[in-house]
Amino acid sequence: MYRFHGNGITLTSRIEIFYDHIKINNKVGIQLNFDQLEAFIYIANTGSFSKAGELLFLSQPSISSKIKVLEKELGAPLFERNYSNVYLTEEGETFLAFAQAAVDSIQKGKRSIQKRNELFDGEVVLSIVFSGAGYFLPSRIQAFRDTYPNIKFSVFSGHSDQVLDMVLNQDVSAGIVRSIYHPQIESFCIEEDEMILVYHSDHPLSKLDKPTLEDLANSPLILYKPETKDWKLIQNAFKKVELAPNIVAEIDSIDGAKEMVKNNIGASFLPYFSVKNDLHNGLLHTIKIDGIPKIERDFELIIKKEQTVDDATKLFIDFITN
């Protein structure tokens, strides 16, 4: 694509002239960018600022500005202008070979990366907890497939114990759960999260500046996923002050619990990731209550220890854990 223009002076001589000029006129580090080099090469090839601008979809002032900056960085004039004609200076002739090599190398590297990403194919087989399937995973898969478009996904959702069983039985290559431990499992934290108290603007808690644990016990409460360690921590907080929570509904679905809160049936402790948009939009509200412990429930990617993982899954694990 790019051509080198000579003027009878040997390449060695041109290099010596160029570097002598640089040493005299440039006392600091040279900083160049791809757009400047590309503009310089196109002008050299076409012999015209305007034609180069048309090919690069740039205005003439814009392409002229790039050359001025480039010449300033190099400390040497690159073009001689004679009416409508543009000629390379001796420094420009010398620099052209280096600019061409640099641009060609960058383009070659870009093509190599694109080719590399396109070559990767395969399938990632995952299991994930119900809550993560709807809120957490879609954006991660989309971001991953932007880089590796030929890798497909098979996703199975279930409760934490079901996800764990699928990983242990190697029905899937990896699983995504919320803070789980098993001696045969290796886990990687992929996103921090916590359970928070959320309520409707008309809920009794909204009328209090600093509600207490007793205020919460006297308010309607929706219990999401009974018999979990999250709820046991909350229940113990009530027991310490000899209070019993006013449970008006129990449900094992985050979406179901959230809709109940939105309909002002009661307040609920829900994962932050599932309600952050509702909090931002003012549809739900949250407050911290003294005596309720911080309940961290991070998302973790789990694989079976000493398991052989296929290349596609390795790529996804590296992508999602970094």
- Tell me which of 1.10.10.10, 2.60.120.10, 3.50.50.60, 1.10.3720.10 is the CATH number of domain 34-116: 1.10.10.10
CA gap 267, 143 in Å, rounded: 34
CA gap 90, 69 in Å, rounded: 18
For the chain, residues classed under CATH 1.10.10.10 are 34-116
| Low pLDDT (below 70) residues in the chain | 1-31, 111, 114-119, 225-229
For the chain, residues classed under CATH 3.40.190.10 are 121-192+299-321, 194-295
Q: Is 39 left (phi over 0), alpha (psi -120 to 50) or beta?
A: alpha
Q: Is 227 left (phi over 0), alpha (psi -120 to 50) or beta?
A: left
Identify the pLDDT of residue 117: 61
CA gap 205, 218 in Å, rounded: 10
Q: Which CATH architecture has domain 194-295?
A: 3-Layer(aba) Sandwich (3.40)
CATH number at 121-192+299-321: 3.40.190.10
Identify the pLDDT of residue 168: 94
